[in-house]
Amino acid sequence: MIKKVTIKNLQKMKEEGEKITMISVYTYPLSKIIDQMGIDTILVGDSLGMTILGFEDTLKVTLEDMIRHTQAVSRGAERALVIGDLPFLSYGLSKEETIKHAGMLIKEGNCQAVKLEGGEERTEEIQALLEIGVPVMGHIGLTPTYVNKFGGFKVQGKSQIAETKLLEDAIKLEDAGVFSIVIESVPWKLAKQITEELTIPTIGIGAGEYCDGQVLVIDDLIGLSLIDKPKFVKKYANVQEIVKKAVKDFINEVKEGKYPSEEFRYG
Ligand code: KIV
């Protein structure tokens, strides 16, 4: 039987200088494929609001959306640690609500941990989750549920004040007990400083090469995304072109009476 990656394994990877890999994925087949390729952790990100559901941002994603997709991903992931993303307003209301919603994501989604966005203001909720045994991943920098506060999807931590605040937030999250922190869209030097300051692993996205691990959204990584590609995204494949060609070929062959040919029919 394949052994599942654990939070302890991730911690050991930081201590031994082995980079951690994470991909944000939302469906059973892609979860199964990337799990078989040896990814360490899978995030079922609320970015699915944009990539899968076609919203402009992540704010309309519901807990039900997240549970459904986390279930699918968990069915595909034998080895990778699966982290379910808590969507906007499923936390931040009261400790009780946060516990209830995170508990539902763990219990019904069958994931091993949850992620939520924010810094110092989240510490009490994080401690409450840890008390009932729910491991939590933090997320700072360009936290997408704060998009309206930030005035768009913009690089964070550029001023001295913002830099200090992000570093303080990271330390407070570690003190509160998160097992890892996603650092999104911040200058690489700041991400490096945070990574060196913390004893837990940092996972970067648009945060340079010095983080303990890296995460990308699957649609960006394979070239399926219809959204403008941020600077940090490396497109490892062009699935959109492959799909376009396949569909065009199908349309042409049907129109020309070439498909289905004899080999594709029943006797
Ligand atoms: O929702 C998501 O996919 C994320 C990652 C980009 C870190 O939060």
Q: How far is the CA of 262 from the centre of ligand 1 (A)?
A: 46
Helices assigned H by DSSP within the chain: 7-16, 28-36, 48-51, 63-76, 95-109, 123-131, 147-150, 160-176, 188-197, 218-221, 239-255
**pLDDT, average across residues 10-20:** 98
Q: How high does pLDDT run on average in the chain?
A: 97
Q: How far is the CA of 173 from the centre of ligand 1 (A)?
A: 18
Pocket test for ligand 1, best of 23, 55, 60, 184 (most atoms within 8 A of CB): 184
What is the distance between the alpha carbons of residues 259 and 261, in angstroms, rounded to a whole number?
5
Q: Which atom of ligand 1 is nearest the CA belonging to 203? A: 7
**pTM for the full predicted model:** 0.96
| Structural domains present in the chain | 7-236 (3.20.20.60), 239-267 (no CATH)
Active-site residues: which are they?
184
What is the distance between the alpha carbons of residues 4 and 223, in angstroms, rounded to a whole number?
28
What is the distance between the alpha carbons of residues 89 and 42, in angstroms, rounded to a whole number?
22
pLDDT, tens only, 151-170? 999 999 999 999 999 999 99
Q: How far is the CA of 43 from the centre of ligand 1 (A)?
A: 7
Closest C-alpha to ligand 1, atom 4: 45
Q: How far is the CA of 47 from the centre of ligand 1 (A)?
A: 6
Torsion, Cα 192 194 195 200, to 10 degrees, reads: -170
Q: Which atom of ligand 1 is nearest the CA belonging to 47? A: 1
Cα 12 off chain centre by: 21
pLDDT, tens only, 211-241? 999 999 999 999 999 888 899 999 999 999 9
